Structure 1
């Protein structure tokens, strides 16, 4: 299962549209379920493909969110600190795209700082500020899943104590 989440504060049409476009070109319905927590902006799956097995859900309870994270082979999200840490904690493969204030997706570019803080530090979470790089990584992951390669992505698994210390250091540096 692929779990896409934009968080609870703001919609993120660019993320959802990129994901739905790539899924309509790649992973077929018989191969994978897709759950999108979309923040209620009126997306219609049929605008992308008529045979997608995609569930669009505006909001999820904390329990539903945790359940979807647990089931996910791939988590796709805005570059929110909470979702990044959840993927690290749960050992999930994650792709994260920063919201841009220039595009009206957030009030500032703090998610760019988050991306830069975590960039290249953990192999199972990949973070992006550029849409084209995000789409390339998404295409790769969709191909991996579409080929039936459903084992965990490289580097996934619960964090070891050394990784927790690395994560703590990243957060301390970020907050300075």
Structure 2
């Protein structure tokens, strides 16, 4: 069980929003499992046409948001792997705004994207569960900021919690 929050010096201030979205005393790995079920319940009933909805001009569609979540989880899990293994090289950032159009999300079937999501989530959980307790204390550098494996284990579900909130508040109500 991984229920000790990372301290502020273990991640960039930008990620505070995501870390705070994880309830105190919650196990982020258990939350990752729960979120996977929640996401399926929310999005599986949608048609491909509905999943092309964006709640405002210039905002991502549901499909694009989902692929963004997948891409981000992959990158954060990769960072966690490298840092857990003791890699001290500074890891580069990524431009989410250039990734989304290049993803081709809107041309894909929602069912296919959901299957990819499940695969990535299973891999993330397997990876995080494989780490020895001391690995979560290791600190590396990503986007020129310190980040611990523990922080990444919180940031991943925190990022998803942020997007689940957007889906519930801005996307899905507009589809009803």
Common topology (TM > 0.5): no
- In proportion to residue count, which structure has more helix? 2
- After TM superposition, the score normalised by the length of structure 2 is 0.28
Q: What is the TM-score of this pair, normalised by structure 1?
A: 0.28
- Structure number, greater radius of gyration: 2
Question: Higher relative contact order at CA 8 Å, sep ≥6: structure 1 or structure 2?
Answer: 2
